[in-house]
Amino acid sequence: MERITPRRTRVGLVAGGLGAYWPQFPELLPQLQTSARRVAERLSGMDCEVVDAGFVSDEREGAAAAEKLRAADCDLIIGFLTTYLTSSMLAPIAQRSGSPVLLLNLQPTEAMDHATFDTGAWLAYCGACPLPEMANAFRRAGVEFRSVSGYLEDERAWTRIGRWIKAAGVRAAFRHGRHGLLGHLYPGMMDVATDPTLVSAQLGGHVEILEIDDLRVRVEKVTDAETAARMDLARKVFELDDSVVEEDFAWGARVSVALDRLVEDFSLDSLAYYHRGLDGETHERVGAGFILGASLLTARGIPAAGEYELRNSLAMLILDRLGAGGSFTELQALNFRDNVVEMGHDGPAHLAISARRPLLRGLGVYHGKRGWGVSVEFDVKHGPVTLLGLGQERDGRFVLVASEGEVVPGPLLGIGNTTSRVDFGCDPGEWTDAWSGAGVNHHWALGTGHRVAELEAVGDLLGLELRVVRV
Protein backbone atom coordinates (compact mmCIF):
# COMPACT_ATOMS: atom_id res chain seq x y z
CA MET A 1 0.00 0.00 0.00
CA GLU A 2 1.25 3.46 -0.83
CA ARG A 3 1.90 5.55 2.24
CA ILE A 4 0.25 8.96 2.33
CA THR A 5 3.24 11.31 2.35
CA PRO A 6 3.09 14.04 5.00
CA ARG A 7 4.54 17.50 4.57
CA ARG A 8 8.33 17.36 4.86
CA THR A 9 9.86 18.78 8.00
CA ARG A 10 11.38 22.19 7.26
CA VAL A 11 14.66 22.87 9.06
CA GLY A 12 16.37 26.24 8.97
CA LEU A 13 20.15 26.34 9.23
CA VAL A 14 22.49 29.19 10.06
CA ALA A 15 26.18 28.86 10.85
CA GLY A 16 28.32 31.58 12.36
CA GLY A 17 31.54 32.79 13.87
CA LEU A 18 33.04 36.06 15.06
CA GLY A 19 34.07 38.21 12.08
CA ALA A 20 36.97 39.77 14.01
CA TYR A 21 38.84 36.48 13.58
CA TRP A 22 38.87 36.40 9.77
CA PRO A 23 41.63 38.97 9.10
CA GLN A 24 43.64 37.62 12.03
CA PHE A 25 43.51 33.98 10.92
CA PRO A 26 42.94 33.78 7.12
CA GLU A 27 42.63 29.98 7.03
CA LEU A 28 39.96 29.82 9.72
CA LEU A 29 36.85 30.98 7.85
CA PRO A 30 37.26 28.54 4.89
CA GLN A 31 37.67 25.68 7.36
CA LEU A 32 34.53 26.67 9.27
CA GLN A 33 32.52 27.08 6.07
CA THR A 34 33.57 23.56 5.04
CA SER A 35 32.24 22.29 8.37
CA ALA A 36 28.99 24.20 7.80
CA ARG A 37 28.56 22.56 4.40
CA ARG A 38 29.08 19.15 6.02
CA VAL A 39 26.37 19.87 8.59
CA ALA A 40 24.00 20.94 5.81
CA GLU A 41 24.79 17.73 3.94
CA ARG A 42 24.08 15.53 6.96
CA LEU A 43 20.83 17.34 7.69
CA SER A 44 19.66 16.97 4.08
CA GLY A 45 20.05 13.21 4.45
CA MET A 46 17.62 13.13 7.39
CA ASP A 47 14.42 13.34 5.32
CA CYS A 48 13.89 17.05 5.84
CA GLU A 49 13.89 20.20 3.75
CA VAL A 50 16.85 22.40 4.70
CA VAL A 51 16.57 26.17 4.38
CA ASP A 52 20.19 27.35 4.56
CA ALA A 53 20.55 30.98 5.64
CA GLY A 54 24.31 30.86 5.15
CA PHE A 55 27.21 31.91 7.36
CA VAL A 56 26.97 35.00 9.57
CA SER A 57 29.88 36.98 10.99
CA ASP A 58 28.23 39.81 12.93
CA GLU A 59 24.89 40.90 14.38
CA ARG A 60 23.75 42.62 11.17
CA GLU A 61 24.20 39.44 9.15
CA GLY A 62 22.48 37.60 11.98
CA ALA A 63 19.47 39.92 11.68
CA ALA A 64 19.30 39.32 7.91
CA ALA A 65 19.41 35.54 8.48
CA ALA A 66 16.67 35.93 11.09
CA GLU A 67 14.39 37.56 8.54
CA LYS A 68 15.05 34.87 5.94
CA LEU A 69 14.30 32.09 8.40
CA ARG A 70 11.23 33.88 9.76
CA ALA A 71 9.78 34.08 6.25
CA ALA A 72 10.56 30.38 5.64
CA ASP A 73 8.23 29.29 8.50
CA CYS A 74 10.62 26.57 9.69
CA ASP A 75 9.64 23.75 12.01
CA LEU A 76 13.07 23.86 13.65
CA ILE A 77 15.99 26.26 13.32
CA ILE A 78 19.51 24.95 13.84
CA GLY A 79 22.30 27.32 14.77
CA PHE A 80 25.77 25.86 14.16
CA LEU A 81 28.37 27.39 16.48
CA THR A 82 31.52 26.84 14.44
CA THR A 83 33.65 28.93 16.82
CA TYR A 84 33.07 31.72 19.27
CA LEU A 85 30.37 34.21 18.25
CA THR A 86 28.41 36.72 20.28
CA SER A 87 24.89 36.02 21.48
CA SER A 88 23.71 39.17 19.69
CA MET A 89 24.24 37.32 16.41
CA LEU A 90 21.78 34.52 17.18
CA ALA A 91 19.32 36.12 19.60
CA PRO A 92 17.34 37.81 16.76
CA ILE A 93 17.01 34.46 15.00
CA ALA A 94 15.62 32.85 18.15
CA GLN A 95 13.28 35.76 18.89
CA ARG A 96 11.85 36.60 15.48
CA SER A 97 11.25 33.22 13.90
CA GLY A 98 8.71 31.83 16.35
CA SER A 99 10.32 28.45 15.70
CA PRO A 100 12.20 26.34 18.25
CA VAL A 101 15.98 26.69 18.00
CA LEU A 102 18.60 23.95 18.41
CA LEU A 103 22.24 24.96 18.79
CA LEU A 104 25.00 22.66 17.54
CA ASN A 105 28.51 22.62 18.94
CA LEU A 106 30.27 20.18 16.62
CA GLN A 107 34.04 20.56 16.58
CA PRO A 108 36.00 19.16 13.60
CA THR A 109 37.33 15.99 15.30
CA GLU A 110 37.30 14.22 18.65
CA ALA A 111 40.16 16.31 20.09
CA MET A 112 42.75 18.93 19.23
CA ASP A 113 46.35 18.08 18.36
CA HIS A 114 47.80 20.09 21.21
CA ALA A 115 51.41 19.78 20.10
CA THR A 116 50.85 21.38 16.70
CA PHE A 117 47.83 23.69 17.10
CA ASP A 118 48.18 27.44 17.11
CA THR A 119 45.47 29.94 18.08
CA GLY A 120 43.80 29.84 14.68
CA ALA A 121 43.58 26.03 14.71
CA TRP A 122 42.22 26.07 18.27
CA LEU A 123 39.46 28.53 17.34
CA ALA A 124 37.98 25.95 14.96
CA TYR A 125 37.34 23.81 18.05
CA CYS A 126 35.91 26.66 20.10
CA GLY A 127 32.17 26.17 19.50
CA ALA A 128 31.72 25.20 23.13
CA CYS A 129 32.92 28.61 24.31
CA PRO A 130 29.76 30.58 23.37
CA LEU A 131 27.32 27.86 24.42
CA PRO A 132 26.86 29.04 28.04
CA GLU A 133 26.55 32.62 26.74
CA MET A 134 23.78 31.58 24.37
CA ALA A 135 21.99 29.66 27.13
CA ASN A 136 22.10 32.65 29.45
CA ALA A 137 21.02 35.15 26.78
CA PHE A 138 18.19 32.89 25.60
CA ARG A 139 16.95 32.40 29.14
CA ARG A 140 16.93 36.15 29.79
CA ALA A 141 15.15 36.73 26.47
CA GLY A 142 12.46 34.15 27.28
CA VAL A 143 13.61 31.70 24.60
CA GLU A 144 13.77 27.95 25.28
CA PHE A 145 17.32 26.61 25.07
CA ARG A 146 18.47 23.26 23.72
CA SER A 147 21.79 22.09 22.30
CA VAL A 148 23.81 19.12 21.07
CA SER A 149 27.59 19.00 21.56
CA GLY A 150 29.96 16.59 19.86
CA TYR A 151 32.13 16.53 16.76
CA LEU A 152 31.30 16.54 13.06
CA GLU A 153 31.23 12.77 12.52
CA ASP A 154 30.09 11.88 16.05
CA GLU A 155 27.22 9.45 15.49
CA ARG A 156 26.10 9.82 19.10
CA ALA A 157 25.59 13.53 18.48
CA TRP A 158 23.83 12.90 15.17
CA THR A 159 21.50 10.43 16.87
CA ARG A 160 20.50 13.20 19.27
CA ILE A 161 20.13 15.66 16.39
CA GLY A 162 17.94 13.11 14.62
CA ARG A 163 15.62 13.02 17.61
CA TRP A 164 15.13 16.78 17.38
CA ILE A 165 14.43 16.50 13.63
CA LYS A 166 11.80 13.83 14.29
CA ALA A 167 10.30 15.89 17.09
CA ALA A 168 10.13 18.89 14.76
CA GLY A 169 8.24 16.65 12.32
CA VAL A 170 5.71 15.84 15.04
CA ARG A 171 5.37 19.54 15.85
CA ALA A 172 4.79 20.24 12.15
CA ALA A 173 2.18 17.48 11.96
CA PHE A 174 0.21 19.24 14.69
CA ARG A 175 0.79 22.82 13.50
CA HIS A 176 -0.42 22.01 9.99
CA GLY A 177 -2.63 19.02 10.85
CA ARG A 178 -6.31 18.49 10.16
CA HIS A 179 -7.87 16.02 12.55
CA GLY A 180 -11.24 14.46 11.86
CA LEU A 181 -13.72 13.89 14.70
CA LEU A 182 -16.63 11.87 13.33
CA GLY A 183 -19.86 10.90 15.05
CA HIS A 184 -20.37 11.30 18.77
CA LEU A 185 -18.85 10.46 22.14
CA TYR A 186 -19.17 6.90 23.38
CA PRO A 187 -21.82 7.30 26.10
CA GLY A 188 -20.35 7.46 29.58
CA MET A 189 -16.64 7.54 28.65
CA MET A 190 -15.76 10.67 30.59
CA ASP A 191 -11.99 10.23 30.18
CA VAL A 192 -12.00 10.41 26.38
CA ALA A 193 -14.04 13.61 26.08
CA THR A 194 -11.87 16.32 24.50
CA ASP A 195 -12.56 19.99 23.81
CA PRO A 196 -11.46 20.47 20.16
CA THR A 197 -10.54 24.08 20.90
CA LEU A 198 -7.88 22.89 23.33
CA VAL A 199 -6.28 20.80 20.58
CA SER A 200 -5.89 23.83 18.33
CA ALA A 201 -4.87 26.06 21.25
CA GLN A 202 -2.19 23.76 22.67
CA LEU A 203 -1.00 21.80 19.66
CA GLY A 204 -2.06 23.86 16.64
CA GLY A 205 -3.88 22.66 13.57
CA HIS A 206 -7.61 22.21 12.99
CA VAL A 207 -10.22 19.75 14.21
CA GLU A 208 -12.83 19.01 11.54
CA ILE A 209 -16.18 18.01 13.04
CA LEU A 210 -17.78 15.33 10.87
CA GLU A 211 -21.14 13.58 10.94
CA ILE A 212 -21.87 9.94 10.18
CA ASP A 213 -23.74 11.13 7.11
CA ASP A 214 -20.51 12.58 5.74
CA LEU A 215 -19.36 9.00 5.44
CA ARG A 216 -22.74 7.44 4.61
CA VAL A 217 -23.20 9.45 1.42
CA ARG A 218 -19.73 8.40 0.28
CA VAL A 219 -20.43 4.75 1.09
CA GLU A 220 -23.54 4.89 -1.09
CA LYS A 221 -21.48 6.15 -4.04
CA VAL A 222 -18.91 3.34 -3.92
CA THR A 223 -19.33 1.02 -6.92
CA ASP A 224 -19.30 -2.76 -6.89
CA ALA A 225 -16.08 -2.70 -8.94
CA GLU A 226 -14.39 -0.46 -6.38
CA THR A 227 -15.57 -2.74 -3.59
CA ALA A 228 -14.21 -5.82 -5.37
CA ALA A 229 -10.86 -4.11 -5.91
CA ARG A 230 -10.61 -3.23 -2.22
CA MET A 231 -11.45 -6.83 -1.31
CA ASP A 232 -8.63 -8.01 -3.59
CA LEU A 233 -6.25 -5.62 -1.82
CA ALA A 234 -7.38 -6.86 1.59
CA ARG A 235 -6.79 -10.48 0.54
CA LYS A 236 -3.19 -9.56 -0.27
CA VAL A 237 -2.67 -7.71 3.02
CA PHE A 238 -4.60 -9.98 5.40
CA GLU A 239 -5.00 -13.65 6.03
CA LEU A 240 -8.77 -14.29 6.00
CA ASP A 241 -10.09 -16.48 8.79
CA ASP A 242 -12.87 -18.97 8.05
CA SER A 243 -15.14 -16.89 10.28
CA VAL A 244 -15.23 -14.04 7.74
CA VAL A 245 -18.65 -13.75 6.13
CA GLU A 246 -18.38 -12.65 2.50
CA GLU A 247 -21.17 -10.10 2.85
CA ASP A 248 -19.53 -8.52 5.91
CA PHE A 249 -16.16 -8.51 4.16
CA ALA A 250 -17.66 -6.74 1.17
CA TRP A 251 -19.32 -4.16 3.40
CA GLY A 252 -16.07 -3.43 5.23
CA ALA A 253 -14.34 -3.01 1.86
CA ARG A 254 -17.05 -0.63 0.65
CA VAL A 255 -16.73 1.48 3.80
CA SER A 256 -12.96 1.42 3.37
CA VAL A 257 -13.17 3.00 -0.08
CA ALA A 258 -15.52 5.65 1.30
CA LEU A 259 -13.16 6.36 4.20
CA ASP A 260 -10.34 7.03 1.75
CA ARG A 261 -12.53 9.56 -0.03
CA LEU A 262 -13.57 11.18 3.24
CA VAL A 263 -9.92 11.62 4.23
CA GLU A 264 -9.07 13.03 0.81
CA ASP A 265 -12.07 15.37 0.61
CA PHE A 266 -11.40 16.88 4.05
CA SER A 267 -7.57 16.67 3.81
CA LEU A 268 -7.39 14.77 7.10
CA ASP A 269 -4.18 13.76 8.85
CA SER A 270 -5.93 11.70 11.54
CA LEU A 271 -9.42 10.48 12.39
CA ALA A 272 -11.32 9.57 15.55
CA TYR A 273 -14.82 8.14 15.20
CA TYR A 274 -17.78 6.46 16.88
CA HIS A 275 -21.46 6.05 16.05
CA ARG A 276 -23.88 3.85 17.96
CA GLY A 277 -26.83 3.47 15.58
CA LEU A 278 -29.93 1.38 16.12
CA ASP A 279 -31.45 -1.94 15.04
CA GLY A 280 -29.27 -2.58 12.01
CA GLU A 281 -30.17 0.64 10.19
CA THR A 282 -27.70 2.20 7.74
CA HIS A 283 -25.88 4.42 10.21
CA GLU A 284 -25.26 1.51 12.55
CA ARG A 285 -23.90 -0.57 9.68
CA VAL A 286 -21.61 2.28 8.60
CA GLY A 287 -20.37 2.68 12.16
CA ALA A 288 -19.68 -1.05 12.42
CA GLY A 289 -17.82 -1.14 9.10
CA PHE A 290 -14.84 1.04 10.05
CA ILE A 291 -12.19 -1.40 11.24
CA LEU A 292 -10.86 -2.69 7.91
CA GLY A 293 -10.66 0.74 6.30
CA ALA A 294 -9.37 2.44 9.44
CA SER A 295 -6.57 -0.12 9.73
CA LEU A 296 -5.58 0.39 6.10
CA LEU A 297 -5.58 4.17 6.61
CA THR A 298 -3.49 3.85 9.77
CA ALA A 299 -0.94 1.73 7.94
CA ARG A 300 -0.68 4.43 5.27
CA GLY A 301 0.06 7.19 7.78
CA ILE A 302 -3.44 8.45 8.67
CA PRO A 303 -4.01 7.19 12.23
CA ALA A 304 -7.61 6.28 12.99
CA ALA A 305 -8.96 5.57 16.47
CA GLY A 306 -12.36 4.25 17.49
CA GLU A 307 -14.64 5.26 20.36
CA TYR A 308 -14.32 8.97 19.50
CA GLU A 309 -10.89 9.04 21.13
CA LEU A 310 -9.40 12.18 19.58
CA ARG A 311 -6.42 12.35 21.92
CA ASN A 312 -5.63 8.73 21.12
CA SER A 313 -5.57 9.36 17.37
CA LEU A 314 -3.16 12.21 18.13
CA ALA A 315 -0.95 9.92 20.23
CA MET A 316 -0.98 7.43 17.36
CA LEU A 317 0.06 10.27 15.03
CA ILE A 318 3.06 11.04 17.22
CA LEU A 319 4.31 7.45 17.18
CA ASP A 320 3.64 7.13 13.46
CA ARG A 321 5.73 10.23 12.70
CA LEU A 322 8.51 8.84 14.90
CA GLY A 323 8.51 5.69 12.77
CA ALA A 324 7.14 3.53 15.60
CA GLY A 325 3.75 2.66 14.13
CA GLY A 326 1.11 3.16 16.79
CA SER A 327 -1.91 0.91 17.31
CA PHE A 328 -5.14 1.62 19.21
CA THR A 329 -4.68 -0.11 22.56
CA GLU A 330 -6.21 -0.64 26.01
CA LEU A 331 -5.74 -3.04 28.91
CA GLN A 332 -7.20 -6.54 28.56
CA ALA A 333 -5.95 -8.60 31.51
CA LEU A 334 -2.95 -9.20 33.76
CA ASN A 335 -1.00 -12.44 33.64
CA PHE A 336 0.67 -12.94 37.01
CA ARG A 337 1.95 -16.37 36.06
CA ASP A 338 4.07 -15.00 33.20
CA ASN A 339 4.49 -11.46 34.65
CA VAL A 340 3.07 -9.75 31.57
CA VAL A 341 0.34 -7.22 30.89
CA GLU A 342 -2.01 -8.24 28.08
CA MET A 343 -3.31 -5.34 26.01
CA GLY A 344 -4.89 -4.62 22.63
CA HIS A 345 -8.18 -3.56 21.05
CA ASP A 346 -10.82 -4.72 18.59
CA GLY A 347 -10.29 -1.60 16.53
CA PRO A 348 -7.86 -0.01 14.08
CA ALA A 349 -4.39 -1.51 14.02
CA HIS A 350 -1.11 -0.27 12.57
CA LEU A 351 -0.35 -3.13 10.19
CA ALA A 352 3.33 -2.18 9.86
CA ILE A 353 4.08 -3.37 13.41
CA SER A 354 2.46 -6.80 13.19
CA ALA A 355 4.62 -9.79 14.06
CA ARG A 356 3.05 -11.75 11.22
CA ARG A 357 0.59 -11.35 8.39
CA PRO A 358 -2.44 -9.77 10.09
CA LEU A 359 -5.61 -11.81 10.35
CA LEU A 360 -9.08 -10.63 9.36
CA ARG A 361 -11.60 -12.30 11.65
CA GLY A 362 -15.37 -12.22 11.43
CA LEU A 363 -17.21 -11.14 14.57
CA GLY A 364 -20.90 -11.70 15.13
CA VAL A 365 -20.81 -9.04 17.81
CA TYR A 366 -18.49 -6.16 18.77
CA HIS A 367 -18.15 -6.13 22.54
CA GLY A 368 -19.78 -3.00 23.96
CA LYS A 369 -20.73 -1.67 20.53
CA ARG A 370 -23.59 -2.20 18.14
CA GLY A 371 -23.22 -3.98 14.84
CA TRP A 372 -21.07 -6.79 13.51
CA GLY A 373 -18.53 -7.43 10.80
CA VAL A 374 -14.79 -8.00 10.38
CA SER A 375 -11.98 -7.09 12.77
CA VAL A 376 -8.19 -7.13 12.61
CA GLU A 377 -6.17 -9.51 14.76
CA PHE A 378 -2.40 -9.71 15.25
CA ASP A 379 0.43 -9.71 17.77
CA VAL A 380 2.81 -6.73 17.74
CA LYS A 381 6.38 -7.58 16.71
CA HIS A 382 8.25 -9.14 19.59
CA GLY A 383 10.84 -6.85 21.13
CA PRO A 384 10.98 -3.36 22.66
CA VAL A 385 7.81 -1.25 22.56
CA THR A 386 6.64 2.11 23.85
CA LEU A 387 3.19 3.05 25.10
CA LEU A 388 2.10 6.65 24.60
CA GLY A 389 -1.04 8.35 25.81
CA LEU A 390 -2.14 11.97 25.60
CA GLY A 391 -3.68 12.72 28.96
CA GLN A 392 -5.56 15.81 30.09
CA GLU A 393 -5.32 17.54 33.47
CA ARG A 394 -8.03 19.26 35.47
CA ASP A 395 -6.97 22.66 34.09
CA GLY A 396 -7.26 21.36 30.50
CA ARG A 397 -3.53 21.02 30.00
CA PHE A 398 -2.41 18.06 27.88
CA VAL A 399 0.38 15.76 29.10
CA LEU A 400 2.31 12.95 27.42
CA VAL A 401 2.34 9.67 29.36
CA ALA A 402 4.76 6.95 28.24
CA SER A 403 6.19 3.63 29.33
CA GLU A 404 8.72 1.28 27.76
CA GLY A 405 8.42 -2.50 27.79
CA GLU A 406 8.96 -5.57 25.67
CA VAL A 407 6.46 -7.67 23.74
CA VAL A 408 7.16 -11.33 24.48
CA PRO A 409 5.78 -14.53 22.93
CA GLY A 410 3.04 -16.59 24.52
CA PRO A 411 -0.63 -17.53 24.24
CA LEU A 412 -3.03 -14.91 22.85
CA LEU A 413 -6.78 -14.58 22.57
CA GLY A 414 -8.25 -15.31 19.14
CA ILE A 415 -11.11 -12.79 19.33
CA GLY A 416 -10.29 -10.28 16.59
CA ASN A 417 -8.10 -8.07 18.79
CA THR A 418 -4.56 -6.75 18.40
CA THR A 419 -3.43 -8.52 21.55
CA SER A 420 0.13 -8.25 22.87
CA ARG A 421 1.89 -9.59 25.97
CA VAL A 422 4.04 -6.78 27.35
CA ASP A 423 6.73 -7.35 29.95
CA PHE A 424 7.62 -4.20 31.91
CA GLY A 425 10.23 -5.92 34.05
CA CYS A 426 8.15 -5.73 37.21
CA ASP A 427 5.00 -7.04 38.85
CA PRO A 428 2.17 -6.43 36.32
CA GLY A 429 -0.14 -5.26 39.07
CA GLU A 430 2.30 -2.63 40.29
CA TRP A 431 2.88 -1.40 36.73
CA THR A 432 -0.87 -1.20 36.07
CA ASP A 433 -1.43 0.86 39.20
CA ALA A 434 1.39 3.25 38.30
CA TRP A 435 0.24 3.56 34.68
CA SER A 436 -3.37 4.19 35.64
CA GLY A 437 -2.35 6.82 38.17
CA ALA A 438 -0.22 8.78 35.69
CA GLY A 439 -3.16 10.58 34.06
CA VAL A 440 -3.46 8.48 30.91
CA ASN A 441 -6.83 7.72 29.27
CA HIS A 442 -8.00 4.13 29.08
CA HIS A 443 -6.82 4.09 25.46
CA TRP A 444 -3.29 4.76 24.20
CA ALA A 445 -0.97 4.09 21.26
CA LEU A 446 1.40 1.13 21.22
CA GLY A 447 4.48 1.44 19.00
CA THR A 448 7.70 -0.45 18.36
CA GLY A 449 11.08 0.47 19.82
CA HIS A 450 12.02 2.32 22.97
CA ARG A 451 11.05 5.92 22.20
CA VAL A 452 11.23 7.84 25.47
CA ALA A 453 14.36 9.72 24.38
CA GLU A 454 12.56 10.85 21.23
CA LEU A 455 9.42 11.68 23.20
CA GLU A 456 11.46 13.91 25.51
CA ALA A 457 12.33 16.00 22.44
CA VAL A 458 8.69 15.92 21.29
CA GLY A 459 7.49 17.12 24.68
CA ASP A 460 10.06 19.91 24.65
CA LEU A 461 9.04 21.24 21.23
CA LEU A 462 5.30 20.91 21.96
CA GLY A 463 5.60 22.43 25.41
CA LEU A 464 4.05 19.33 27.03
CA GLU A 465 5.10 17.56 30.20
CA LEU A 466 6.28 13.99 29.61
CA ARG A 467 5.51 11.52 32.39
CA VAL A 468 7.42 8.27 32.10
CA VAL A 469 6.05 5.32 34.09
CA ARG A 470 8.82 3.14 35.46
CA VAL A 471 8.32 0.74 38.37
Q: Quick check: is 389 in a domain?
A: yes
Number of structural domains (the chain) is 2
Q: Quick check: is 112 in a domain?
A: yes
Question: Nearest to residue 466, comparing CAs of 163, 223, 173, 205?
Answer: 163
**245 and 300 fall within a common domain:** yes
pLDDT, mean of residues 457-467: 97
Q: Please indicate, yes or no, whether the overall pTM of this predicted structure exceeds 0.85.
A: yes
**In which order are the strands placed within the sheet that holds 239-240?**
239-240, 359-363, 373-377
Domain boundary among 148, 173, 198: 173
**315 and 337 fall within a common domain:** yes
**277 and 399 fall within a common domain:** yes
Q: Decide if 159 contacts 450 (C-beta within 8 A).
A: no
**100 and 161 fall within a common domain:** yes
Residue 358, pLDDT > 80, answer yes
pLDDT-derived band of residue 451, with 50, 70 and 90 as boundaries? very high
Q: Quick check: is 279 in a domain?
A: yes
Residue 221's identity, in one-letter code, is: K
CATH code: domain of residue 286: 3.20.14
pLDDT of 36: 98
For residue 124, the enclosing domain spans: 9-173
Q: Quick check: is 2 in a domain?
A: no
Dihedral sign from CA coordinates of 287, 292, 295, 299: negative
Q: Quick check: is 236 in a domain?
A: yes
**167 and 209 fall within a common domain:** no
**169 and 182 fall within a common domain:** no
**181 and 169 fall within a common domain:** no
**234 and 354 fall within a common domain:** yes
Question: Nearest to residue 109, comparing CAs of 160, 150, 147, 148?
Answer: 150
Q: Decide if 134 contacts 424 (C-beta within 8 A).
A: no
Residue 364, pLDDT > 90, answer no
**423 and 302 fall within a common domain:** yes
Q: Quick check: is 361 in a domain?
A: yes
**How many Cβ atoms from other residues are within 10 Å of residue 443's Cβ?**
26
Structure confidence by residue, pLDDT tens digits, 373-424: 899 988 899 999 999 999 999 999 999 999 999 999 999 888 888 889 999 9
pLDDT of 416: 81
Whole-number mean pLDDT of the chain?
A: 95
Domain boundary among 173, 189, 218: 173
Structure confidence by residue, pLDDT tens digits, 230-259: 999 999 999 999 999 999 999 999 999 999
Q: Taking the chain, what is the end-to-end CA distance rounded to the nearest angstrom?
A: 39
**66 and 211 fall within a common domain:** no
pLDDT-derived band of residue 371, with 50, 70 and 90 as boundaries? confident
Domain boundary among 158, 173, 188: 173
pLDDT of 252: 96
pLDDT of 97: 85
**130 and 189 fall within a common domain:** no
Separation between Cα atoms, residue 39 and residue 48, nearest integer Å = 13
Structure confidence by residue, pLDDT tens digits, 44-75: 999 899 999 999 999 999 999 999 999 999 99
- What crossing angle do the helices spanning 310-321 and 155-175 adopt, rounded to 10°? 150
**332 and 400 fall within a common domain:** yes
Q: Quick check: is 1 in a domain?
A: no
**How many Cβ atoms from other residues are within 10 Å of residue 269's Cβ?**
27
Separation between Cα atoms, residue 69 and residue 171, nearest integer Å = 17
Q: Quick check: is 52 in a domain?
A: yes
pLDDT of 226: 98
Number of H helices, E strands in the chain: 16, 19
CATH code: domain of residue 120: 3.40.50.10940
